[in-house]
Amino acid sequence: MWAQNNAKRWVIMSIIFMLIGIAMIVAGAVIGEMNYYWMIYVGAILFLTFFICFFMFIRQARNLDSMLKGTGLLAHWRFEENERLQRAAEEFLQRKTSNKVMLLVIVVFVVIIGGLFAIFGFDNSQDAIFFIVVLLGIQILISLAAILIPRARYNKMKEAAPEVLISPFGAWIMGEYFQWKAPLTRITSVQFAKDREDNYTITVNFTIWQRFGPQKLQCRIPVPKDTVTEAETIASDIAKINKVRFLNETK
């Protein structure tokens, strides 16, 4: 199985939602009644949101197309089946552990802040109960995401092509595309490290600005066992090209 440009699917989805937004605006204007003006507002928000997404995803699709054609690559690695499964299991364990820590922090925050707000922030006990129910619902959704997303990623890595493509500005890793040079995205550092089992990994740290501020993300690139020296050079090159700090944690 060869790599597929999944960003193209999101381009198509963006176009579909833009058309839905336009249809809602037209429908609300044609009906012309006050009770249906909400369709115009919702349609406008839907159109503008996915209009922006369209240009983001189409740029990702073009960049990934170039990578899949071998243009401007720093490396193109292929994993053997047993090594691919091992790497997929390691990535699953890493993400699951990371999500558990994040989930614990969120639970503590919800219990403390939510509890204080429910006790002192409402005069009516029914409003406080409704607030707690909503808060618990949000917590359940976050918990499900933290549990299910690593498993979904693990299954995707097992089924995707055992290929890793690396460019100075992004990487395609067994079915998942990362881009650390894009609008509202800033790379912060590059690490080269190994674990207790002598498995080497290139980690690109970057942030994406969202509505609530910068979100820290990582791109963990697994290294085949026979390309360690090459991988160290590539990690250093990514840092130099993007003018960020390189951390060699193997020495």
| pTM tops 0.85, yes or no | no
Q: How far is 67 from 172, CA to CA, in rounded Å? A: 8
Tens digits of per-residue pLDDT, 191-213?
A: 999 877 778 899 999 998 765 66
Question: Is the residue at 193 inside a domain?
Answer: yes
What is the structure's pLDDT at 159? 67
- Full residue range of the structural domain in which residue 106 is found: 75-248
pLDDT at res. 2 = 47
Four-point Cα dihedral 173, 190, 58, 25, nearest 10: 110
pLDDT at site 233:
95
Q: Do residues 24 and 86 both lie within one domain?
A: no
Residue 2 in any domain: the answer is no
> How far from 60 is each of 9, 68, 189, CA to CA, in Å?
11, 12, 21
Same domain, residue pair 239 and 129:
yes
> Does the pLDDT value for residue 185 go beyond 70?
yes
Domain count, the chain: 2
Looking at the fold, whether 228 and 129 belong to one and the same domain comes out as yes
Length of the chain counted residue by residue = 251
> What number of H helices and E strands is found in the chain?
6, 8
Same domain for 101 and 153?
A: yes
pLDDT of residue 84: 58
Is 164 within 8 Å of 79 (Cβ atoms)? yes
